[in-house]
Chain A
């Protein structure tokens, strides 16, 4: 093909916005059998995923978001950094910041992959893990990363205080459901629900950014649906059930965090 890397990236972005079906569809991927070809494809997908995660996390880290790592660079890292990157302390802070900023996206991607694939297997629609990985990698890389980017923007930008409070309030309400479900005592709750945020204070810019956020959520859900339909050949019912499983992902994620943080399990 005569299309270079920049061209492919531009086409990928275009497809992500205007043609999600083409963006998420896995061509030339055999799902069922394990072969060198499928392992090679899996490796490529992981590279795509990691590259996108780094692309997502690096600007955040460089702008100072999430850089709170105070640990010293390990001894093995210092000579390598001295030889290749310059100052080992700055380089370590950069890498640690990227890792910290990527952690949430990677963790939620893993839970999404698990619930999505289990649902496809349970509905006997799965054509192989590789196709699920393809769908999740592309959907997460574009739309979930977009959602997080908007959330990060909301958390820092001046003039978006009401929208920020609204989004935080929604998350706290969501977590509170699990506090109640697991009977976490008030004294051990990190977040507590406050007065509901009044929408009247929203400015035009805030309603616009909230609309973008909702659009990204819809894109993410739709791309997962398309992944089930196009890549696995799932029927409407199976694809919808898989979506419900994806919807459960944040619930599973929060439940695991709560059980872990409240000492329900110890790792």
Chain B
């Protein structure tokens, strides 16, 4: 079971707004400092409340859950493929078992490739909370992608943790706008260490906005 909790900080039920998040892409890599460690606790920066765009919290995702899944895929895949090869008549005929083994090789390669790519993107990702927005940004192949959600449009935020994430003490914080788009969470801070601290900071900002 994954753990999940949702907070609706602002909006009455049913309130809907047009999609408000912004996504930008630039060809420069300069906006992201990708050189530092991918596994580090949130770095809280004392902020001047008057400067709404100042960074209040900046953190990076941890690779641990993704690497754990990658290891699991490789180990399970290799074990199943190995088992099929040592028992070639497991599915009736050698050829049928060979087809199954080929299929498993294919699926293991795809699964491992996906997780390896995901790990690489996570090493290039950072999450930022400012006085006026939450932002996820990463750089890839000399391009920088930035997705930002203004706090004023935030309808709720949620925390969910898979079993692996719970064991590793990390979680995924989702920010929802309740807009017309189909995806429920428009912005996610994936595999973030100390997710409660992130939510606490956002909650604090929203309370400040209400005052």
State whether B27 touches A230 (Cβ < 8 A).
Answer: no
Within the assembled complex, what's the spacing in Å between the Cα atoms of A32 and B101?
A: 44
CA of A28 to CA of B18 in the docked complex: distance in angstroms? 10
By size class, the interface of chain A is 20 to 34
B94 to chain A, nearest CB (A): 8
Q: Which of A25, A200, A231 contacts B95 (CB 8 A)?
A: A200
Q: Judging by beta carbons under 8 Å apart, are A207 and B19 in contact? A: no
How many positions in chain B have a CB within 8 Å of any CB in the partner chain? 26
Task: Tell me which residues from 175 to 204 in chain B have a Cβ below 8 Å from any Cβ of chain A.
Answer: 180-183
Quick one: given A2-B25, A25-B183, A27-B183, are A18 and B117 in contact (CB under 8 Å)?
A: yes
Chain A nearest Cβ from B111, distance in angstroms? 9
Q: Which residue of A lies closest to B111 (CB)?
A: A18
Contact among A3, A25, A211 for B182, CB-based, below 8 A: A25
Contact of B110 (CB < 8 Å), options: A17, A200, A230: A17
Interface string of B23-53 (1 = CB under 8 A from A): 1011100000000000000000000000000
How distant is the Cα of A162 from the Cα of B99 in the complex, in angstroms?
14
Contact residues in A for B27 (Cβ distance below 8 Å): 2
CA distance A224 to B111 in the complex (A): 19
Least CB separation from A211: chain B residue: B102
- Contact bitstring B71-100, A, C-beta under 8 A = 1, else 0: 000000000000000000000011110111
- A17 surroundings in chain B (CB, below 8 A): 110
Which residues, 210 to 266 on A, are CB-close (under 8 Å) to B? 210-212, 214-215, 230-231, 233
Best-surrounded residue of A29, A202, A207, A215 (most CB of chain B within 10 A) = A207
Does B107 lie within 8 Å of A215, measured CB to CB? yes
Q: Closest Cβ of chain B: how far from A221's Cβ, in Å?
A: 13
Task: Name, among A2, A26, A131, the residue most crowded by chain B CB atoms within 10 Å (CB to CB).
Answer: A2
Residues of A within 8 A of B113 (CB): 18
Q: Does A114 interact with chain B (Cβ within 8 Å)?
A: no
Known contacts A3-B25, A29-B182: A214-B143 contact under CB 8 Å: no
Is B103 engaged at the interface, CB distance under 8 Å to the other chain?
Answer: yes
**Cβ contact within 8 Å between A208 and B183:** no
Q: Of the candidates B25, B93, B106, B114, which one forms a contact with A211 in the assembled complex, judged by CB atoms under 8 Å apart? A: B106
Answer yes or no: A199 CB below 8 A from chain B CBs.
Answer: yes
**Closest residue on chain A to residue B97 by CB atoms:** A207
In the complex, A211 Cα to B93 Cα: how many Å?
A: 15
What are 18 contact pairs spanning A and B, CB under 8 A? A1-B25, A2-B27, A2-B143, A3-B25, A28-B19, A28-B180, A28-B181, A29-B181, A30-B180, A31-B182, A199-B96, A200-B93, A208-B102, A211-B100, A214-B99, A215-B103, A215-B107, A231-B182
The 3 closest A-B pairs by CB, nearest first: A211-B102, A18-B114, A199-B95
Q: Which residues of A contact B (CB under 8 A)?
A: 1-3, 17-19, 25-31, 127, 131, 199-200, 202, 204, 207-208, 210-212, 214-215, 230-231, 233
> Contacts A204-B98, A211-B105 given; 5 further ones with Cβ under 8 A?
A1-B23, A2-B143, A202-B95, A202-B99, A214-B99
Which residue numbers of B lie inside 8 Å of A, CB to CB? 19, 23, 25-27, 93-96, 98-100, 102-103, 105-107, 110, 113-114, 117, 143, 180-183
